[in-house]
Amino acid sequence: MLMIADYFLTFSGVKALATTVQRWVVVISTIALALGVANITILHGRIVLKRRGKWYLSLWQIFIMWLIVVMGSVLTTAHPLFRLLFDNMYLNPYNTIVTLLCFSTFAAGYRALKIRTLETAVFFVSALFLMLMLAPIGEIIWAGFPIIGRWVADVPSVGSMRGLMIGAAVGLVAVGLKTLLGLERGWLGRE
């Protein structure tokens, strides 16, 4: 709530408190990242040592994770070799997955909603403008697709994204509390 208040209010006290909280978030996030790296190393290290299932994939994951961590720490993230590895090992698969998810979500939404109401028509027209804004052929078909698509992305989508981010943050806090209280044990590799 403090970050939301900082976004909308201009009081100096709120700004100072929000800055302090953001610094603490960076420190805690760094510690959480280090714990995550240690946890993945231990969990997949056990799989490699016991040679269970597809242990060679666990070995590969440990190797790649530590390679990226060491290169990011030693060479910095702006180094061309780090960028080459990061861009080719993370961004390309990420972009592929996001594209497939967008297409399958659009297709599933069409099958589920069938455009019977005004709201679903607005939803699908907006999605169509967004997809044609991102596709290179969209601007070739009509020069207005990128303009309208950018407006849809910048104006109406921002409110829903804020709600989604607030919901995700609340869910993250809930899962974190469950994990800290010992109620969630899935991350240990157990049920």
Taking only the tens of pLDDT, the chain with its 191 residues reads 677 777 777 778 888 888 898 899 999 999 999 999 999 999 999 999 999 889 999 999 999 899 888 888 888 888 888 888 888 887 777 777 877 777 787 787 777 777 788 888 888 888 888 878 877 788 888 899 889 988 988 888 888 888 888 999 899 888 888 888 888 777 666 65
* Residue ranges of domains in the chain: 1-53
CB 72 within 8 A of CB 82: yes
Q: Which amino acid is at 116?
A: R
Q: CA–CA separation, 85 vs 70, rounded Å?
A: 12
